[in-house]
Amino acid sequence: MVRRHILERDLEDNFWEICGYMTTNQGEDNERLKEALRNFIDLSGKFVAADAIPFLRWLDIGGYERAMKKTAKDLDLIAEGWLKEHKEKKASGVKKGEEDFMGLMLDILDDDAQLVVGRDSDTVNKATSLGLTVAASDTTAVTLIWALSLLINNPSVLKKAQHELDINVGKKRRVHESDMNSLVYLKAIIKETLRLYPAAPLSLPHESMEDCTVAGYHIPAGTRLLLILARFIVIQGCGPNLLNSNPNDFLRFTKIMMLGDKTLNLYRLAVEEGYALVSLLRFMFCN
C-alpha cells in the first residue's frame, strides 16, 4: 500500500513538472504509460547475452531486444502525443500557469536552431523529456522506501524528525516548499539514506574516447568503466561505522565526496525532492 502510494505520487510529480501531464486524469492513456515505464525499468535490469557475445545478437535469446524495441516505440508514441499537445497550445497562444520542462525545451529549440544542428529538434525534445521522466520515476521512490524502512527501524530518529516537523510546521497543515530550509534533520535523514542505499548502486557506463593514463595506469581507448557509487559516497571524517544509519553525521560534516559536478547537482536535487516527500508522508502515515 505504502509502496504503491509512493510510486503514484512520484509519477504524478515528475510528469507534471516535465510535461504538464496529470496521471490521475488520463484513464487508458495513464495505464499505457505506466505499463511502458514498468517494462522499461524491468528490461533495463535484464542480462542480454549479445552484449557480452555480439555474434549471438541475431538469436535474440530471451526476446529481450524485441521487447526493448516495442517498449521504445510505445514510449516514443506517448512522448509524441505530449509534444503535439504542447505545439497546439503554443500555436493557440494559450499559457496556463508556469511552463513545464517540455514547453520550455520547445521554446528554446525553436528560438535557437544552432543547438540541434544535424538533429531533429522534436527528437531531442522527446528524448530529453523521456530521459528525465524515466530516470526520476524509480529512483526517488526507491530512496523514499528505504528512508521509511530506516525510520521504522530507528524509532528515536523518527521521533526526532516528527518533533522537528511539529515545531516548524505543526500538525494542522502539510509541508510547503517555504518550510524546507528549516527542516534540517529531515534533510540529514535523506542524505544518510542516499549514502547507505543509493538508488543506483552502479554508475552509468563510461567509455574512454582516447588513450589516457590515470594514476600511472594506461587506459586504452574504448575501455568501459562501471563505478560502484556506494563506495564513493562517503562523509569526510565521519568515523568507522559507515554502514550504520546515523543522520547526525550530516549535521556535523557537510562536505561530501562525490563523482563530479553533475553527480553533485543530481544529489542535491534528490535531497530537495526526497525530504519534501518524506515530510508529506509523515503526515499521511505517522500521525
Task: Note down pLDDT in tens along the chain; length 287 residues.
Answer: 666 666 666 666 777 777 766 544 555 666 777 788 778 878 877 888 888 888 888 888 888 889 999 999 988 888 888 888 888 888 887 665 667 788 888 888 876 666 666 778 888 888 888 887 777 767 777 778 888 888 888 888 888 888 888 888 777 777 776 777 787 888 788 778 877 787 777 777 788 889 999 889 999 998 988 877 766 655 444 444 555 556 665 554 444 444 444 444 445 555 555 555 555 555 545 55
Assign 112 to helix, strand or coil. coil
> Exposed, middle or buried, 244 (CB in 10 Å: 0-12/13-18/19+)?
exposed
User: Which secondary-structure segment (H or E) carries 284?
Assistant: helix 261-285
At 32, which amino acid appears?
R
CA distance 206 to 213: 15
Which residues lie across from 214 on neighbouring strands?
A: 217
At 102, which amino acid appears?
M
Q: What pLDDT sits at residue 232?
A: 62
CA distance 244 to 151: 13
Q: What pLDDT sits at residue 22?
A: 54
CA distance 249 to 237: 9
Q: Which three cell numbers stand for residue 85?
A: 499537445
Q: Which three cell numbers stand for residue 5?
A: 502510494
pTM above 0.75, yes or no: no
Phi and psi for 16 in degrees, rounded to 5? -70, -40
Q: What pLDDT sits at residue 70?
A: 92
